[in-house]
Amino acid sequence: MAITKLNLVNVDFNKDCYNSVLLKLYNHDDFHPELASKFTDSVAGLTVYNKDNLYEELLVRIQEMTEKYHFQAQTVKTESNQLNVVKVKEFLDDLFLDIDRIDAVKEQLLAMIKENDDAIVQLRNVAGLDVNFDDLFSCQYLQVRFGKIPNSNVGKLEFYESLPFVYKSFEMDERYTWCMYITTPGDAPEVDNVFTSLYFERIHIPEFIHGEADLAIAEIQDETNSAKEHSVQLQKRIDKIISDNIDEVNRIYTIASELNSVYIMQKYIVVMGDKLTVTGFVPAKKVDAFKNDFESIGNVHVEVLPATSDVRLEPPTLLKNSWFARPFRMFVEMYGVPKYNDVDPTLLVALSYTLLFGIMFGDLGQGILLSIVGFVAYKKFNLELGAVGMRLGISSAFFGIIFGSVFGSEEILIPMFNAMSPENTMTLLMAAIGLGVVLILISMIFNVVLNFKKKNIGEALLSQNGICGVTFYVAVIVAVVGMFTGLNIVNALYVIVFIVIPIFLIFLKEPLIRKFEEHQPMFPNGFGAFFVEGFFELFEVVLSFITNTMSFLRVGGFVLSHAGMMLVVYTLAGMFGSIGELVVIILGNIFVMCLEGMIVGIQVLRLEFYEMFSRYYEGNGIPFKTIKE
């Protein structure tokens, strides 16, 4: 349960080794950069490095061609990270111009094939009309249009019956009706306009068509077959050109990608005369290797400083956890990472979450199954939640032994504690509240330690989660326990010293802090305004102690809920035969695991966030991120 110690580093280098330094920084997974603007805004004469990116255009060009011609540019190993941009642009322009020219011819052929296919469909429709196309197209006083119209618009033609045209439909598919219409040359513009408004798609019969429909179909089919064969040859030419040049394209793509990432990093570079500087944080254990790695380049100097040496910068937080606690980091990060000088709560979260989940979901068989599912999810699908499930399953199995529950059955094991026994119900609920009291006290002690560490003496002593709050809470708990056990330890002095005085100091926390820490007036807005506001805040504080403690009753409640749900499953199973009983038990266990497992997971997370985190954790730190992240 720790936060990795960091060092602040300044990497100073000349412009001639710009690419080498930044590429190395980009690939380092232990460097957290700081924006150059944090320095240039506060110091005159410093500027952010700004240079035109010559490589983004190359990447965009390659990306466009890979999408258009369906090939993949890949990163490859290269001996050099330099490009002659002018020559590379000429190479790519010439290469892709050749491909585009061939592709343009191919696209024309494909368009012609599409038109011919539509024409063939139309010609087959009119084959039964005994039409000679030479006679039809030579008509001086008639205009003939072939095409197709959406089925939904065919009925709308009746609105235009007054217009001089003859409409003939041939066949209908799922979307279109294939048809033709005939009108006079003088009325053609108006009729064409009507059909166009109804989304009529005209199909042009090729000019070389002569004679009967069957002969025309054969002629078009011959042209289509020839066009298809030619388009296949053109595609082979395109594929060969790409294949012959793919190695060079991959080399350009690899270097351009790396150098483009360098230009993305310009916002981290400070210009100091002829020198360039990048500032960031490195883990203390890796700082020597980092320094040696960069100073081996030449004309590069790395300055190592304490993490808090620059007041303009807030050190980021890099969490360092044991193998057990590491998967629970995701819950902490959901709330926010701690500040660099705070304490990492991940281990406390891991232990408390595992404990609470195991109690609320105690079952040996289901716990083992949960661990197996979590193991598969983590190893096969790399799900961090799967690693959490492995640990929770083990805890559930352990408490399943205590409760004597194996897949909901309490007849296989002898329970150490029978949760369903009526005489144990009150014991179970009191134990849940006792566990809650312990976890709340741990959270409050955490808060005291953190505030003393940050030198917030007023908060550490006087807040509801400080020493006064701990004293008040413990005193009330002791008094309640004494009342139930018959130990009469509460008297007037006890009440005044351990209850009244702490609650009074909590009430006066803000005025006292203003007086002794900030050296300001105790009641800047008047005592009356303070009293009204402070009274209701104090009432909320006392109420929150009660509700937070009682909230842990859900731990015992879910123990009873789990046992009750499995009792229902076995009751239903007993109504069926041997095979049906087994099916009901299996399906019932799956249902309970999915439903209750999800609900218990959410409820435990709620206890972590609202009853514990809210007492000591702020989560307003800056996460440690590399340049790639």
Domain boundary among 320, 354, 370: 320
Average pLDDT of span 63-86: 81
Q: Helix 364-381 vs helix 578-606: angle between axes, to the nearest 10 degrees?
A: 70
Domain boundary among 320, 345, 367: 320
* 235 part of a folded domain: no
Q: Are residues 19 and 43 in the same domain?
A: yes
Structure confidence at residue 312 (pLDDT)? 87
| CATH for 166 | 3.30.70.100
Q: Are residues 134 and 195 in the same domain?
A: yes
Average pLDDT of span 435-449: 91
Tell me what the pLDDT averaged over the chain comes to: 85
With cut-offs at 50, 70 and 90, classify the pLDDT of residue 178. confident
Q: Are residues 175 and 133 in the same domain?
A: yes
* Residues sharing a CB contact under 8 Å with residue 29, sequence separation 6 or more, in sequence order: 626, 628
Question: Which residue from 17, 52, 49 is spatially nearest to 33, judged by alpha carbons?
Answer: 49
Q: Are residues 5 and 93 in the same domain?
A: yes
**Three-state SS at 200:** coil
Structure confidence at residue 393 (pLDDT)? 92
* 122 part of a folded domain: yes
How crowded is the C-beta side of 240, counted as CA atoms within 13 Å?
A: 7
With cut-offs at 50, 70 and 90, classify the pLDDT of residue 209. low
Rounded distance, CA 195 to CA 330, Å? 63
* 620 part of a folded domain: no
Instruction: State how beta strands 165-172 and 143-150 pair.
Output: unpaired
Q: Are residues 44 and 23 in the same domain?
A: yes
Structure confidence at residue 485 (pLDDT)? 78
| 120-160 tens-digit pLDDT | 776 776 665 666 666 766 777 888 888 889 999 999 998 89
Q: What are phi and psi for residue 172, nearest 5 degrees?
A: -130, 135
Whether the predicted pLDDT of 67 surpasses 80: yes
Q: What are phi and psi for residue 279, nearest 5 degrees?
A: -115, 140
* 195 part of a folded domain: yes
Q: Are residues 98 and 121 in the same domain?
A: no
Rounded distance, CA 91 to CA 616, Å? 62
Q: Are residues 224 and 114 in the same domain?
A: yes
Q: Are residues 216 and 304 in the same domain?
A: no
Whether the predicted pLDDT of 1 surpasses 60: no
Average pLDDT of span 295-299: 83
Q: Are residues 78 and 123 in the same domain?
A: no
Q: Are residues 98 and 114 in the same domain?
A: no
Reduce the secondary structure of 305-345 to three states and give it as a string: EECCCCCCCCCCECEECCCCCHHHHHHHHHHCCCCCCCCCC
Contact between 220 and 119 under an 8 Å Cβ cutoff? The reply is yes
Domain count, the chain: 2
Instruction: State how beta strands 6-14 and 176-183 pair.
Output: unpaired
Q: Tell me the residue type at 469.
A: G
Rounded distance, CA 472 to CA 468, Å? 6
- Find the radius of gyration of the CA atoms of the chain: 40
Rounded distance, CA 625 to CA 521, Å? 43
| 364-421 tens-digit pLDDT | 999 999 999 999 999 988 888 899 999 999 999 999 999 888 888 877 888 888 877 8
DSSP 617: -
The partner residues of 201 in beta bridges, in order of sequence, read: 148
DSSP secondary structure string for all residues of 352-380: HHHHHHHHHT--HHHHHHHHHHHHHHHHH
Structure confidence at residue 396 (pLDDT)? 92
CA dihedral 391, 393, 396, 402 (to 10 degrees): -90
Whether the predicted pLDDT of 310 surpasses 60: yes
Q: Does 595 or 617 have the greater pLDDT score?
A: 595
* 92 part of a folded domain: yes
* 357 part of a folded domain: no
Whether the predicted pLDDT of 438 surpasses 90: yes
Structure confidence at residue 133 (pLDDT)? 66
With cut-offs at 50, 70 and 90, classify the pLDDT of residue 357. very high
Rounded distance, CA 365 to CA 442, Å? 32
Rounded distance, CA 392 to CA 368, Å? 9
Average pLDDT of span 206-211: 60
| 504-534 tens-digit pLDDT | 888 888 888 877 777 777 877 778 887 888 7
Domain boundary among 228, 245, 273: 228
Structure confidence at residue 88 (pLDDT)? 85
Q: Which structural domain range is residue 295 located in?
A: 1-109+258-320
* 274 part of a folded domain: yes
* 374 part of a folded domain: no
Structure confidence at residue 59 (pLDDT)? 85
Q: Does 124 or 286 have the greater pLDDT score?
A: 286
Q: Are residues 20 and 103 in the same domain?
A: yes
Q: Are residues 115 and 14 in the same domain?
A: no
Structure confidence at residue 195 (pLDDT)? 94
